[in-house]
Chain A
Amino acid sequence: MLLFVIRRVIMIVPILLGLLLLTFLMVRFGGGDPAAAMAGDAATPEQIAAIRDQLGLNDPIIVQFWTYLKNALQGDFGVSVYSNRPVGLDIIQRLPATLELTFVALLIASVFGIVFGTLAGVYRNSILDHFVRVTSVAGLAAASFWIAIMLQLIFSMELNILPLRGRLPGDIPAPTAITHFYLIDSLLTGQWNAFWESFRHLILPAVTISLGGLATIARFTRSSVVASMQSEFATYENAVGYPKRRIVFPYVLRNSLVSPVTQIGLLFGAFVSNAVAVEAVFDWPGLGSYLVAAIFAADFNAILAVTLVIGAVYAIVNILVDLAHGFLDPRVAERM
Chain B
Amino acid sequence: MIKNTLMKTLSAVALLSIGSPAFAAGDEISWGTTLPRGLDPHVVYDNPMQEFAINLYDTLYRYQNNPPEVVPSLAESYTVTEDGLTWQFKLKDGVTFHDGSPLTADDVVYSFQRLLGIGKGPSGAISSVLKSENIEKIDDLTVQFTLEEPYSPFFSVVPLIAIVNEDLLKANEVDGDFGAGWLSANEAGSGPYMLDATTSEPQSIANLERYDDYFMGWDENPNPIEIVRINNIQENSTRVLALLRDDIQMTDGYIPPDQIDRINESDTARIQKDESMRIMVIRMNNMRPPFDNLNFRKCVSHAFQYDAFIDVILKGVVTRNPGPLPGNLWGVPDDVKGYDYDIEKAKEYCDAARAEGAPLDRELEIHIQSAQDQTTQSAQVLQQGMSEVGVNLKLIGANWANLSTETTDPSTSPDMWVHWVSAYFIDPENWIGQMYDSDFHGTWKASSYYQNDEVDQALRDARLETDHEKRAELYKTAYRQIVADAPDLWIYNSVIMRGMSKKLEGMKFNPVSSGAEVRYMHLAD
- A157 CB to closest chain B CB (Å) equals 6
Which residues of the other chain, B, contact A282 by a CB distance below 8 angstroms? 238
Find B238's partner among A42, A83, A164 (CB 8 Å cutoff).
Answer: A164
Q: When the two chains form their complex, are residues B120 and A38 in contact, meaning their CB atoms are under 8 A apart?
A: yes
- How many angstroms from the CA of A51 to the CA of B118 in the assembled complex? 10
A170 at the B interface (CB under 8 A): yes
A165 at the B interface (CB under 8 A): yes
Question: Restricting to B360-390, which residues have a CB under 8 Å from any CB of A?
Answer: 371
- How many angstroms from the CA of A51 to the CA of B405 in the assembled complex? 13
Interface residues on chain A, number (Cβ under 8 Å): 61
Question: Restricting to A39-61, which residues have a CB under 8 Å from any CB of B?
Answer: 39-45, 47-48, 50-51
Q: When the two chains form their complex, are residues A42 and B199 in contact, meaning their CB atoms are under 8 A apart?
A: no
A179 at the B interface (CB under 8 A): no
Stretch binding the partner chain, chosen from A105-113, A181-189, A290-298, A316-324: A290-298
B172 at the A interface (CB under 8 A): no
Question: Restricting to B29-82, which residues have a CB under 8 Å from any CB of A?
Answer: 30, 37-38, 40, 43-46
Q: When the two chains form their complex, are residues B424 and A42 in contact, meaning their CB atoms are under 8 A apart?
A: yes
- How many angstroms from the CA of A296 to the CA of B371 in the assembled complex? 8
A172 at the B interface (CB under 8 A): yes
B338 at the A interface (CB under 8 A): no
Beyond A40-B46, A42-B121, whether A293 also contacts B245 by CB under 8 A is no
Q: When the two chains form their complex, are residues B235 and A162 in contact, meaning their CB atoms are under 8 A apart?
A: no
B203 at the A interface (CB under 8 A): yes
B124 at the A interface (CB under 8 A): yes
Q: When the two chains form their complex, are residues B120 and A83 in contact, meaning their CB atoms are under 8 A apart?
A: no
Beyond A47-B127, A170-B229, whether A83 also contacts B37 by CB under 8 A is yes
B401 at the A interface (CB under 8 A): yes
Which residues of the other chain, B, contact A290 by a CB distance below 8 angstroms? 203
Q: When the two chains form their complex, are residues A84 and B184 in contact, meaning their CB atoms are under 8 A apart?
A: yes
Q: When the two chains form their complex, are residues A40 and B120 in contact, meaning their CB atoms are under 8 A apart?
A: yes
Which residues of the other chain, A, contact B180 by a CB distance below 8 angstroms? 84
A174 at the B interface (CB under 8 A): yes
- B81 CB to closest chain A CB (Å) equals 26
Extra contacts, 4 of them, besides A40-B121, A83-B203, A296-B371 (Cβ < 8 A), are A169-B20, A170-B231, A200-B19, A289-B234
Q: Please, could you name 30 A-B residue pairs with CB atoms under 8 Å apart, sorted by A? A: A32-B401, A36-B408, A39-B119, A40-B120, A41-B424, A42-B125, A44-B442, A45-B442, A45-B443, A47-B120, A83-B184, A83-B203, A84-B38, A84-B44, A85-B185, A153-B241, A157-B241, A157-B245, A160-B17, A160-B245, A164-B242, A164-B247, A166-B231, A170-B229, A171-B20, A203-B16, A283-B233, A285-B205, A296-B400, A297-B37
- B6 CB to closest chain A CB (Å) equals 14
Beyond A44-B128, A149-B237, whether A82 also contacts B122 by CB under 8 A is no
Find A82's partner among B22, B37, B238, B408 (CB 8 Å cutoff).
Answer: B37
- How many angstroms from the CA of A86 to the CA of B182 in the assembled complex? 11
A93 at the B interface (CB under 8 A): yes
Beyond A40-B44, A160-B17, A296-B401, whether A152 also contacts B120 by CB under 8 A is no
Q: When the two chains form their complex, are residues A283 and B232 in contact, meaning their CB atoms are under 8 A apart?
A: yes
Q: When the two chains form their complex, are residues A93 and B201 in contact, meaning their CB atoms are under 8 A apart?
A: yes
B359 at the A interface (CB under 8 A): no
CB-CB nearest in chain B for A199 = B16
Q: When the two chains form their complex, are residues B17 and A161 in contact, meaning their CB atoms are under 8 A apart?
A: yes
Q: When the two chains form their complex, are residues B241 and A152 in contact, meaning their CB atoms are under 8 A apart?
A: yes
Scoring B28, B30, B46, B242 by chain A CB atoms within 10 A of each residue's CB, the highest score goes to B242
CB-CB nearest in chain A for B125 = A42
Which residues of the other chain, A, contact B184 by a CB distance below 8 angstroms? 83-85
B123 at the A interface (CB under 8 A): yes
Scoring A35, A40, A85, A193 by chain B CB atoms within 10 A of each residue's CB, the highest score goes to A40
Report which B residues bind A (CB closer than 8 A): 13-14, 16-20, 22, 24, 28, 30, 37-38, 40, 43-46, 119-125, 127-128, 180-181, 184-185, 199, 201-205, 207, 229, 231-235, 237-238, 241-242, 244-245, 247, 371, 399-402, 404-406, 408, 424, 442-444
A76 at the B interface (CB under 8 A): no
Find B40's partner among A84, A149, A280 (CB 8 Å cutoff).
Answer: A84
Encode contact with B along A292-314: 1 for CB under 8 Å, 0 otherwise.
Answer: 11001110000000000000000
Beyond A160-B17, A173-B199, A196-B19, whether A41 also contacts B241 by CB under 8 A is no
Question: Restricting to A258-274, which residues have a CB under 8 Å from any CB of B?
Answer: none
Q: When the two chains form their complex, are residues B181 and A84 in contact, meaning their CB atoms are under 8 A apart?
A: yes
- How many angstroms from the CA of A209 to the CA of B19 in the assembled complex? 23
Q: When the two chains form their complex, are residues B401 and A298 in contact, meaning their CB atoms are under 8 A apart?
A: yes
CB-CB nearest in chain A for B122 = A42
- The 4 A-B pairs at the shortest CB distance, nearest first, are namely A298-B401, A161-B17, A33-B405, A36-B405
Scoring A84, A149, A173 by chain B CB atoms within 10 A of each residue's CB, the highest score goes to A84
Which residues of the other chain, A, contact B199 by a CB distance below 8 angstroms? 173-174
- How many angstroms from the CA of A41 to the CA of B124 in the assembled complex? 9
Find A152's partner among B234, B238, B402 (CB 8 Å cutoff).
Answer: B238
A212 at the B interface (CB under 8 A): no
Which residues of the other chain, A, contact B44 by a CB distance below 8 angstroms? 40, 84
- How many angstroms from the CA of A173 to the CA of B198 in the assembled complex? 9
A156 at the B interface (CB under 8 A): yes
Q: When the two chains form their complex, are residues B17 and A162 in contact, meaning their CB atoms are under 8 A apart?
A: yes
Q: When the two chains form their complex, are residues A170 and B30 in contact, meaning their CB atoms are under 8 A apart?
A: yes
